[in-house]
Chain A
Amino acid sequence: MIHIDGKPADAELLKELSKDSLEKDIINILANSQKIYTYSINELKFELILRKEIIEAAHDLNRSGISFRVFRDSKCNREYWDRMDDGGFAVKSDVSPGEAISDIYKNGSRYGTECATAIVIIYYKALLEVFGKERFDQLFPNIYLMNWHLIDNKLKEVGLTHKETDYLPGDRRYFINPDVDPITPQWQGENVIDMNHGLYYGHGVGIRNAEAMIKILNTKRKKDAVESAYLLDSVGRPNFRNLADIYYREH
């Protein structure tokens, strides 16, 4: 159930907000839930916009040509990023962080990293689209890309996972692979974005349904494996409310 400003949301208002099928799907999940989701109208609008951009950014990253590489072999465009000794990328101090994120999408073949970092890139790209380059550069002056390590404070919640009543398009989910071959720890699990309609985007595996994701991970298990890969029931979400506060302060 959705509450706006402390009251159950008006059906007409929700209909108005459901401008496209994705927004409609998100609102339906929220409205039909046992849980009460409390928003201001602006917060709900912002969450819908950002979730839409997250999915768009995942589609675009999938088409960008960025390769899957383990941290030891990670690569980046040195015009925008410094490749660090741990395999992470730190944005150069003399470039625009927004342009550096955009470059990953423009020159994807010059980049290679693991699945978690790809998800962080998606969140930054979505925020770049929502906030615009100038504001984004002010908000995120020191981007460090390396899984959930050293993630910006304003985005730290995506690095944390917790159980939720509902799963929504744009959520971060995780397929865990408990019996992974110890020689290939990069397949210990796949970080994914919920793309709606039962599909997930995972860097290195593309956009697939849960069954296909599990099938791929199961091929990466050790020989005497007994446990299948599976989708964890937890999610990672940015703090939409805080980000909305920042957004509306400027608009």
Chain B
Amino acid sequence: MDTNGSLSFLDQIRFTNGIDHCKTIFREIAEKEREKAIHYINQTELYFASLFFLFPEIDELNLYENLSRRNYIALGMCAKILEIEKPFLDIKQLGRKNGRDIPLILNWMFTTGSAEDGINSEYDRVLDAVAALLVIDHKDTSILPFMVNLIFNRNKKGLLNHDLIWCFMKSCNPHVLKLSADYLLSYDPKDVELACKLLSIKMPDAEEWDDMRGRYNHYIAWLNENERYLYHTGESLNLTSEPMYYDVDLNAKYLCKEVLQHNKKIGNPFTSKERKQLKQFLEATENEKRILAEYSNRIYYQDQSLWNKWMHLPLQEQMNVAAAGQGDVR
């Protein structure tokens, strides 16, 4: 935790003397000078962890009405996630999407709170749910780098990371693959093992461990080639021991049209020509589709006029050219 910046009073105590001391000091101040305690808890610099661990004191001292909107909503979220009945926190009225500031508050909870991950099970459960709300409901991709750190840190410690992996992948953002691929370069075999699982690639053979940079480069080259055509499959660790989280939409790759992540559909309406091309493509075998899609994508970026000519050929002729790996259809 970087404590060099501007720290709130309560965070300073927590970092220096621990949570229990922070709780004691807060209670003492609140009993003597209620306004001062409210000022401290509402400081804008406060980290979410301090608010979370002072939840019982805030409840006991009935400080809800004096909380800032950020803190009120954050505790309301905690109560909802942990299924705690708190009459003063009318979370039903909050509604998860009511208020433009809700994503900002959730983001504050996660980004200032993730450093304390692992401190207890309830806290981790809140972090997981907040992350899920951010990436799935609010499409906040800014937290993905924080999430990947948490996933791999928990993996090292043998802690539960399945829910976090689920929402990380369900963000429907192929960038998560790049973030996971970075761990192929780790010196820790546990990181590499998890990275391989997240990327749906096989574990390195004995000799491949010596060239993880090469393996990483190979994967990144594949990702760069296919990123536009990837879609989230919906697979998870709840379904299978070997989920393939993202797969290539071969139809999209063949037409060289991007897959829209929000609905997994190929972007932009098809022209009549594209519909015709797709119709003949769908008649090909799976293996032929792979060859055609790969070839189509390759020449599209090399020479679009060449690609146009190739796309106008009958399927069998397309296949002959693609299988031969020829670049010239003139």
Interface, chain A (partner B; CB < 8 A): 71-73, 84-87, 114-116, 147-149, 151, 156, 159-161, 174, 176, 178, 182-183, 185, 188-189, 191, 222-224, 232, 236
A236 vs B235: C-alpha distance in the bound complex, in angstroms?
14
Q: How many residues of B contact A (CB 8 A)?
A: 30
Interface members, chain B 237-267 (any A CB < 8 Å): 237-242
Interface residues of B in 297-327 (CB under 8 A from A): none
Interface on B for A, CB 8 Å cutoff? 80-81, 96-97, 121, 124-125, 128-129, 132-133, 136-137, 157-163, 166-167, 234, 236-242
CA distance in complex: A98, B271 (Å): 62
Closest A residue, CB atoms, query B235: A161
> 6 shortest A-B CB distances, which residue pairs?
A159-B241, A182-B132, A148-B241, A182-B136, A86-B160, A183-B129
Total cross-chain contacts (CB, 8 A): 78
Complex contacts, B241 vs chain A, CB 8 Å: 147-149, 151, 156, 159-160
A interface majority secondary structure: loop
| Chain A minimum-CB-distance residue to B138 | A182
Q: Which residues of chain B are near A72, meaning CB under 8 Å?
A: 121, 124-125, 160
Query: Which residues of the partner chain B approach A224 to less than 8 Å between Cβ atoms?
Result: 97
Residues of B within 8 A of A147 (CB): 162, 237-238, 241
Instruction: Report the bound CA distance from A47 to B160 in whole Å.
Output: 35
Q: Which residues of A contact B121 (CB under 8 A)?
A: 72-73
B237–A149 touching, CB < 8 Å: yes
Q: How far is the CA of A150 from the CA of B239 in the complex (A)?
A: 14
7 A-B residue pairs with CB within 8 Å? A85-B158, A115-B238, A147-B238, A149-B241, A183-B132, A185-B132, A189-B238
Contacts of B132 in A (CB 8 A): 182-183, 185
- A174: chain B residues within 8 A (beta carbon): 239
Cβ contact within 8 Å between B237 and A148: yes
Residues of A within 8 A of B237 (CB): 147-149
Contacts of B239 in A (CB 8 A): 116, 148, 161, 174, 176, 189, 191, 232
* Bound CA–CA A178/B263 (angstroms): 12
Query: B129 — nearest CB in chain A belongs to which residue?
Result: A183
* A71, A86, A149, A151 — most chain B CB neighbours (10 Å): A86
- Other A-B contacts than A176-B239, A236-B240, 20 sampled, CB-CB below 8 A, are A71-B160, A72-B121, A72-B125, A85-B160, A86-B160, A86-B162, A114-B238, A115-B238, A147-B162, A147-B237, A148-B240, A149-B241, A160-B240, A182-B137, A183-B132, A185-B128, A185-B166, A188-B238, A189-B238, A224-B97
With a cutoff of 8 Å between Cβ atoms, the chain A residues found around residue B236 in the complex are 188-189
Nearest A residue to B239 by beta-carbon distance?
A174
Which residue, of A114, A147, A149, A182, has the highest number of chain B Cβ atoms within 10 A? A182
Contact of A223 among B96, B124, B161 (CB under 8 A): B96
Residues of chain B lying within 8 A (CB to CB) of residue A223: 96-97
Given contacts A149-B241, A188-B236, A191-B238, contact A87 B160 (CB under 8 A): yes
Evaluate contact between B234 and A178: CB separation under 8 angstroms: yes
- Contact A84–B80 (Cβ < 8 Å): no
Given contacts A72-B125, A85-B159, A222-B137, A185 and B240 within 8 Å (CB-CB): no
Question: Closest residue of chain A to B118, judged by CB?
Answer: A85
Q: Which residues of B contact A183 (CB under 8 A)?
A: 80-81, 129, 132-133
Contact partner, B240, options A84, A87, A159, A188, Cβ 8 Å: A159
Asked whether, in the complex, the Cβ of A85 is within 8 Å of the Cβ of B157, the reply is yes
Docked pose: A103 CA to B167 CA in angstroms: 34
Report the bound CA distance from A159 to B240 in whole Å: 5
Measured between alpha carbons, how far is A116 from B162 in the docked complex, in Å? 13
Q: Which residues of the other chain, A, contact B157 by a CB distance below 8 angstroms?
A: 85
CB distance from B35 to the nearest CB of A (A): 34
Query: Which residues of the partner chain A approach B158 to less than 8 Å between Cβ atoms?
Result: 84-86
Residues of B within 8 A of A73 (CB): 121
Q: How far is the CA of A149 from the CA of B132 in the complex (A)?
A: 22
Known: A86-B160, A183-B132, A185-B166. A161 touches B240 (CB 8 A): yes
Residue ID in chain B nearest A174 by CB atoms: B239
